[in-house]
Amino acid sequence: MKLNGKIVLVTGASSGIGAATALAFAAEGARLLLAARRASKLAEVASRTLERGAASVHSIDLDVRHHHAVQTAIDDLPPEWAEIDVLINNAGLSRGLEKLYTGKTEDWDEMIDTNVKGLLYVSRAVIPGMVVRGRGHIVNLGSTAGDLPYPNGAVYCGSKAAVHAINDGLRQDLLGTPVRVTSVDPGTVETDFSLVRFRGDAGRAAKVYQGLTPLSAEDVADAIVWAVSRPDHVNIARITLTSVHQANSLLFHRES
């Protein structure tokens, strides 16, 4: 797929991997539909995408957890933005790092509502149009955490295992259409992810990346753009990437 002029919807575009992905597609001359809850952060990313070469940009204030809001936001897009070519289901988060049997049910709800149900709601709103138009590509952000759960992370890891199952099921449901489905599964990436997980505890968040070189958001964006830019008949089912300091979701090499 040539990316110049394609409409790319990125959820969770206000930060981290989503923002880097928007910028990477901008450099290819794509048209960017940016979605997230923090409008001021989205506005910053929007202006950077234009500097980077985006053909145009349109931002949507969107909480993916609300089914009707998601459907309405997609249904109400201006006609010139309605024909989405690429959907990057990136919005997601983790809350807490705690044994399941002492975990907070409100944290579970937030993770499952965002990472699983939010991804489903956006997919349900966008994919029918792709099928009708006979073109499209969905990229879902999974994680190495979805392959191998780590202690105190059962619910987050479970939400990412669900993304893998949904990704593989969706690819089967779309068989016979030209619409492609890819899961991009990074290991540890230095973003606001840990700050959000630990509710703003910067010291605790920094320890996650201490003594190792993590992936950058740009590394992940690069993999996403690569998958989407393969020839139309090639479906990259899944990309797993980690830094050389990580073997899987449990095993890290730290210099100090």
Q: What own/partner pairs with CB < 8 Å and gap ≥ 24 does 227-236 have?
A: 227/137, 227/139, 227/182, 227/184, 228/1, 228/3, 228/86, 228/137, 228/139, 228/182, 229/1, 229/2, 229/3, 229/28, 230/1, 232/1, 232/135, 232/178, 235/171, 235/180, 235/181, 235/182, 236/180, 236/182
Smallest distance, ligand NDP to C-beta of residue 94, A: 6
Q: Which does 249 bind (CB under 5 to 8 A by kind): ligand 8X3, ligand NDP, none?
A: ligand 8X3
Instruction: Tell me how long the chain is.
Output: 256
Binding mask 32-61 for ligand NDP (x = CB under 6 A): ----xxx--x--------------------
Q: Which does 192 bind (CB under 5 to 8 A by kind): ligand NDP, ligand 8X3, none?
A: ligand NDP
With contact defined as beta carbons under 8 Å apart, do 69 and 62 qualify? Answer: yes
Name the residue whose CB lies closest to ligand 8X3: 143
207's tokens: 């320890």
For this structure, is 156 an active site residue? yes
Q: Closest Cα partner for 17 from 115, 91, 120?
A: 91
Q: Which of 101, 121, 150, 156 is catalytic?
A: 156
Judged by CB under 6 A, the chain residues 173 through 202 that form the site for ligand NDP are 186, 188-189, 191-193, 196
Placement of tokens 């890290």 in the chain: 252
**Binding region for ligand NDP (CB under 6 A) out of 11-19, 123-131, 165-173, 236-244:** 11-19
Is 123 an interacting residue with respect to ligand 8X3 (CB under 6 A)? Answer: no
22's tokens: 């928007």
Interface pick for ligand NDP out of 14, 167, 182, 246 (rule CB under 6 A): 14
Is 145 an interacting residue with respect to ligand 8X3 (CB under 6 A)? Answer: yes
Is 188 an interacting residue with respect to ligand 8X3 (CB under 6 A)? Answer: yes
Q: In terms of CB distance, is 131 or 150 closer to ligand NDP?
A: 150
Number of other residues whose CB lies within 10 A of the CB of residue 186: 25
Q: Which residues are catalytic?
A: 156
Interface contacts to ligand 8X3, rule CB under 6 A: 143-145, 188, 193, 249
